Chain A
Amino acid sequence: MIDFGFLWQAFVRLIAGLPITLELAATAILVGTVLATALAIVAHLRVPVASQCVAFFVFCIRGSPLLLQMFIIYYGLGQFRHELQSWGVWPFFREPYWCAITALVLSVGAYGSEIIRGGLKSVSAGLIEAARACGMSGFLLYRRIILPIAFRQALPAYGNEVILAVKATSLASTITIMEVTGIAAELISQTFRAFEVFIVAGAIYLTLNFIITRLIALLEYRLSPHQRDLPVKTNIEARP
């Protein structure tokens, strides 16, 4: 039979990890998106040398497991403790929390940059010409015309990326961070009730991802008024 008492206990334990999961995901997505945008612009403008560096970075991040990247940052950089100490960044890389965030940010940046680059490509040349004709250039052109359109275009694909980032926060548990998955692993090893714990933890992640999907759909709706049908105003009154 289903033991609701245990499910509730597990829920209480697991939900305590939710704030950390949310923190990791939110930071990774916000900072990662800034990084992704910068990388995408560099790649899109084909800045010599820099764009090749971006391509190489994206290749490395996408071609190797995130867990490995997290280990390189957390365990690997520990080997250069003296150098990092002399640069004053050791307190940052000493904390598993910041190492996990760094790995997640790099990951969101690399995967996201490919999506945003696709969005940048889709901005039609006519729009850019029109903006230039109005006297916009450089930063203003990007801020007012190119980036908003690119983001809107990239949003559906970016939504998938956000879900993947939320799922990826679970890897932080391997470097001792007790977020939802970390607590789940601890609970399983204490109680040996893998199935119940999985159901509760899975339900937490599914709910979270469901909310995020709805939010992104809402954002998409808000950002694309031009694709909606016009509200029809009729003057025809019902005949008596």
Chain B
Amino acid sequence: MRSVLDKLWVGCMNYTDLVGFGEGGWGRVLIAGAGVTSAIAVLGFLIGSILGSLVAWAKMSPIRLARGVADAYTTTLRGVPDLLVIYLLYFGGNSLLSTFAGFFGANGFVGMPTFATGVLAIGIISAAYQAEVLRGAFNTVAKGSIEAAHAVGMGRWLLFRRVVAPQVLHYALPGLGNTWQLALKETALISVVGLVELLRQAQMASGSTRRPFEFFITAGLLYLTITVVSSLLFRFAEYRSACRMGG
């Protein structure tokens, strides 16, 4: 019993040295990785919001072609593994860029910047999910409020800004929170094309120390921290939104 406790204690001490901020500790690097992960997730989510609103708008458009394209977009991206989309963007982007560079006289390989690929991939995938959420939220907007806005003579843009957008955002917040969590977890997949975010950083650390278990668990704790903090923020936003809607 005694020896097991000792072993455990030594193990804990080793662990704090391993992931700490002191000499030979990987703490700072891992935190930086978590920063990169958060940055990709936030930027990707924002791109996803913009693209997702456009797709949602197209889905409700009276033009048949627009609806068809938007439906095909969401069906494809929600039905195909995210990893494939990342491969397409990264390797497809590489060959496109190389061809383009060839036109301008550069020869040889031009690679996609991995950070941009990551942000773009998260944005494109997240847009498909956000479009569905936004469309669902739009359908719950009280039609009477839109009629009333028309009646008082609001123009299209004003109507959207003052009446539609606030209501859609209010109804969409819980769903958007879910898509945010998805986006955050998807960032881990970008590690396969070599972007050094949290998971890749943990992989590199475990490669050089041969202690994968500790590093992956630590990375997991950091992911959980980001999840908890962001879900608290979303809950706060929902609360504020409910106050403003008089709910």
Contacts and interface: CB of A to CB of B under 8 A. Distances in A.
Given A63-B227, A184-B84, A202-B84, A79 B79 contact: no
Interface stretch (B42-50, B164-172, B217-225): B217-225
B224 A63 contact: yes
A184 B188 contact: no
Interface residues of B, number: 41
Most buried by A among B80, B203, B227: B80
A67 interface: yes
Nearest to A65: B188
B204 interface: no
Given A67-B189, A67-B191, A167-B81, A198 B220 contact: no
A171 B83 contact: yes
Given A65-B185, A68-B199, A188-B91, A205 B223 contact: no
Contacts of B82: 167, 170
Contacts of B211: 79
Contacts of A198: 84-85, 87-88, 92
B175 interface: no
B231 to A, nearest CB: 9
Contacts, number: 121
Given A63-B224, A65-B185, A209-B79, A75 B216 contact: yes
A87 interface: no
A128 interface: no
Nearest to B78: A163
B212 interface: yes
Interface string A34-78: 000000000000000000000000011011111111011001111
B189 A68 contact: no
Nearest to A195: B92
Judged by DSSP, the binding face of A is helix
Interface string A178-207: 000100110011001111001001100110
Contacts of A77: 213
Interface in B56-92: 75-76, 78-85, 87-88, 90-92
A198 B88 CA distance: 6
Taking each of B81, B95, B187, which has the highest tally of chain A beta carbons within 10 Å of its own beta carbon? B81
Interface in B146-162: none
Contacts of A79: 210-213
Contacts of A68: 188, 199, 202, 216, 219-220, 223
B95 A192 contact: yes
A71 B83 contact: no
B206 interface: yes
B227 A206 contact: no
A153 interface: no
Contacts of B213: 72, 75-77, 79-80
Given A64-B223, A205-B80, A71 B88 contact: no
Contacts of A188: 87, 91
B142 interface: no
B192 interface: yes
B54 interface: no
Given A72-B213, A75-B216, A195-B92, A170 B79 contact: no
A235 to B, nearest CB: 43
A170 to B, nearest CB: 3
A171 B190 CA distance: 12
Contacts of A171: 81, 83, 189
A115 to B, nearest CB: 13
Given A65-B188, A192-B94, 18 more contacts: A63-B227, A63-B228, A65-B186, A71-B216, A76-B212, A76-B216, A79-B211, A167-B79, A167-B80, A168-B81, A169-B81, A184-B84, A188-B87, A188-B91, A193-B95, A194-B92, A198-B92, A210-B79
Interface of B: 75-76, 78-85, 87-88, 90-92, 94-95, 181, 185-189, 191-192, 199, 202-203, 206, 210-213, 216-217, 219-220, 223-224, 227-228
Interface of A: 59-60, 62-69, 71-72, 75-80, 163, 167-171, 173-174, 181, 184-185, 188-189, 192-195, 198, 201-202, 205-206, 209-210
